Structure 1
């Protein structure tokens, strides 16, 4: 990254000719996007920021940085705990890719550390409840929304649209995945009727929330958000694949599902239909398997050589075992 070009852009954007970059470092994580810790002196005052930009190879279903910036603004306006979005740059001449800058939040997001350090504490259900309230606030955002016009019209049937999107990705990849196709067929046979659409984060899970001793510091990574069934987010958060080994704690590997649901219902004023959740948890497992296979393909194709991406592909067989077990429990299974 060209620090000189970045500083020049920041000077022009902030109007501070004396602005100094005092620190710029790539942060860990971010298999789909890149995050950089950015420290500056702005009018003599230290600022702690994060610069978020594209990885060398991005997923086609991921939003642009301008769109993610708009999602952060909409979420913040709805009372969701997100980092403050500060500046947006679509000029690729600055660092080679579009980017935005947001406030840097301190806390813990690394999922295996989260389930190890928070799940065994007496206050774990309080933390899960706080996450339930955040999710309920996200779901207060409804279409149409002037700031989110790029999301388009909500699908007539979010469940069938999700199946179609995953099948399209499997077909495009060209690698036979019979277990995933089997799971998608079971989903088709058991699809729940549509509900009024809300904004779904679509990656609300342990690892994408910044946590502290006192609660939720920030909800992160909005690049997959879109209109859908609110149960999709609840199913994604509670799916076994996102418990990071702490399977007994169904709410993200942190605490009890009941605590998540109770806080969500209290904050939203609406009831969760528990009968819909197994369907969305199966879809979550299949979706993660498709994403994992896609990420491995980025490495294998040479687009982005990465040990992390290569290893991600090795979780697909385990996910396939989980899919078979979940399908077997469905009343309308093949």
Structure 2
């Protein structure tokens, strides 16, 4: 099957690159990708405007997915939108929305060098060794993303809503839990706490909604790319700030509250230097509670994909075992608040 996919993708890239022939000198499935599949391809382009070597990543729909995640056509549009405003992302090249090449939608982007595994990045100081600079740079990049506001002609597929973003998120999570088999009283408690303590609404901005260590890449010099846009949507800018600083994304480096790689002060300073807007620091904790709750629901969704028989995956099965740890964090944070 992999050889069939390889051949089909060679033909697809040749057509989109306006080349007579394309040969992949390297082609392999990358690790990770619980919601999508990613192939690395080194393409030898024989002629045409892209003649020579093209280092590519080809991103396709996985056999099953999470209901709230975007498809590849929507993710490609998001990647184009942020690339155009100068966010550090891989250059998007071509979209196969119909699934013509391999029977599933996919898009092609330029490969970006670097390490993205969060559990390695937080420990290996040879990667982006100036951690204060990395935290500041990530804040700057996030502020660039938040400059995009509705309406946006290329992002009309992102739903708009009238209620406060916090209450909108609570309603979505509650609707999913109400339809899920089994009782989750801690998650219900957390939702009620979020409902009672919801902050006032702010103007909507484009939020990545999975902006965290593990979804960006670095090399020995610093940041090389921000990845994984399948959850992006219009929301309160503090949602992204809280998600990045949430304890569940520090990979054990709890003393470094900004993604396990730096201090909040550096991350916040980078954000404010580009946004020109002070961060209401006392409100970020609310969004960290929401981050744990949302991640808990996603963990249940991932486990369901395995348990239902839709997709046999040890990674999906193990994700469900994160739930008790997330529930404990929710109880501790709401008690402290």
Same fold by TM-score greater than 0.5: yes
Structure-1 residue corresponding to 2:307: 300
Aligned length: 330
Deviation, structure 1 residue 83: 0.2
Considering only aligned residues, what root-mean-square deviation do their CA atoms show, in Å? 1.5
Kindly report which structure 2 residues correspond to 1:63-82, keeping only aligned pairs within 5 A, or say none: 63-82=70-89
Residue of structure 2 aligned with 1:148, choices 143, 155, 169: 155
Counting only pairs closer than 5 Å after superposition, residues 62-211 of structure 1 correspond to structure 2 as 62-118=69-125, 123-211=130-218
CA–CA distance in structure 1, aligned partners of residues 67 and 129 of structure 2: 41
Q: Distance in 1 between matches of 2:273 and 2:44?
A: 43
Provide the rounded CA distance (Å) in 2 between the counterparts of 1:213 and 1:12: 36
Change (3 A) 1:263 1:93: closer
Q: Which residue of 2 aligns with 1:7?
A: 10
> How far apart, CA to CA, are the structure 1 residues paired with 2:13 and 2:57?
13
Residue aligned with 2:157, SS: helix
Q: CA deviation at 1:174?
A: 1.9
Aligned position for 1:60: 67
The whole-number CA distance in structure 2 between the counterparts of 1:6 and 1:177 is 44
Using a 3 Å threshold, how does the CA distance of structure 1 residues 287 and 119 change in structure 2: closer, same or farther? Answer: farther
CA distance in structure 1 between the partners assigned to 2:287 and 2:159 by the alignment: 22
Query: Any conservation in 1 of the 2:72–2:105 contact (CA below 8 Å)?
Result: yes
Residues 283-292 or 7-16, more deviating: 7-16
TM-score (structure 1 length as normaliser): 0.96
- Unpaired segments of 5 or more residues in structure 2? none
Hey, what's the Cα distance between the residues in 2 that align with 1:73 and 1:171? 36
How many angstroms does 1:120 deviate by?
Answer: 10
> 1:28 maps to what in 2?
31
SS at match of 1:23: strand
Alpha-carbon deviation of 1:321? Answer: 0.5
Match of 1:47 in 2: 54
Shift, 1:226, TM fit: 0.3
Task: Please say which of residues 90-99 and 258-267 is displaced more in the overlay.
Answer: 90-99
Structure 1 segments unaligned to the other structure (5+ residues): none
1:229-262 deviation line (CA, Å, top 9, x unaligned): 0000000000000001111100001110111001
Shift of 1:19: 1.9
Mapped to 2, the partners of 1:187 and 1:259 lie a distance apart of 27
Shift of 1:154: 4.5
Contact 2:121–2:127, Cα closer than 8 Å, also in 1:
no
Q: CA deviation at 1:265?
A: 0.4
Change (3 A) 1:93 1:74: closer
- Counterpart in 1 of 2:21? 18
Secondary structure in 2 matching 1:199:
strand
**C-alpha contact (below 8 Å) 2:128/2:220 kept by paired residues:** no
State the Cα deviation string for residues 36-92 of structure 1 (Å, max 9, x = none): 001111225011000001111111111110110010011011110000000100232
Tell whether the 8 Å contact from 1:50 to 1:103 is kept in structure 2 after alignment.
yes
Q: Measure how far apart 1:214 and its partner are.
A: 1.9
* Inter-CA distance 9–306: structure 2 relative to 1 (3 Å threshold): same
Equivalent of 2:243 in 231, 236, 242: 236
> Which whole-Å deviations, capped at 9, do the CAs of 1:183-241 have from their partners, x for residues lacking one?
00000110001000000000000000011222210000000000000000000000000
2:41 to 24, 30, 38: 38
Please report how far the alpha carbon of residue 5 of structure 1 lies from its aligned counterpart in structure 2 after TM superposition.
2.2
